[in-house]
Amino acid sequence: MSKSKQQPSSGQQPQAEQDNHANNLNRNNDQFWKSRGYPERPTDWETAVPESKHPQDQDE
Task: Please count the other Cβ atoms lying within 10 Å of the Cβ belonging to residue 40.
Answer: 9
Containing H/E element for 15? Answer: helix 15-25
pLDDT digits (tens, 9 = 90+) for 8-37: 566 788 999 999 999 999 998 999 999 889
Q: What is the DSSP string of 17-59?
A: HHHHHHHHH-TTSHHHHHTTT-SS--TTTTT--PPPSSPPP--
Per-residue confidence (pLDDT) for residue 12, from 0 to 100:
80
Kindly state whether residue 24 falls inside one of the protein's structural domains: yes
Please provide the average confidence, as pLDDT, over all residues in the chain: 78
Total number of domains constituting the chain:
1
Kindly state whether residue 53 falls inside one of the protein's structural domains: no
21, 29 Cβ separation under 8 angstroms: no
**pTM for this predicted structure:** 0.58
Q: Which domain holds residue 30?
A: 14-43
